[in-house]
Amino acid sequence: MSKVAKGLTEADKVVKRRDALDINDLYKAYMKVYEADGHIGDLAEELGRPLGSVRQRIVVLRKQVNSAGKQLPALKRQPGGGGGREASVIDPSLLGNLAALD
């Protein structure tokens, strides 16, 4: 059954896009978060945007700042992650199964 048949009109199907993020607003928010010793998650929250979207826009911002002969300061690294780093050495008991393959 189509969405139109369920009572939705063509106007209901229109997806509203967010307003474009002005590069100057991004820069101001970036510097505010940097001065507060924040990370990219803080910047996304400050802008009210998804993290992935903010990451993409920072790439554009960084290129523009670099082309002006300046360097954008790095934000603090976001906490978390690193969950798989504990197992940096393989358990020797698991290697016994490989001998059977020779």
Q: Give the separation between CA 77 and CA 37, rounded to whole angstroms.
A: 10
The answer to whether the beta carbons of residues 31 and 41 sit under 8 Å apart is no
Task: Return the closest-CA partner of residue 34 out of 75, 92, 82.
Answer: 75
Q: How far is CA 99 from CA 9, 23, 48, 94, in A?
A: 65, 58, 54, 10
Is the pLDDT assigned to residue 68 strictly greater than 90?
A: yes
Q: How confident is the model at residue 19 (pLDDT cuts 50, 70, 90)?
A: confident
Lowest mean pLDDT among 1-10, 83-92, 93-102: 1-10
pLDDT at 94: 72
- Angle (CA) 27 31 34, round 5°: 140
Is the pLDDT assigned to residue 11 strictly greater than 80?
A: no
* Identity of the amino acid at 83: G
Domain boundaries, the chain: 22-78
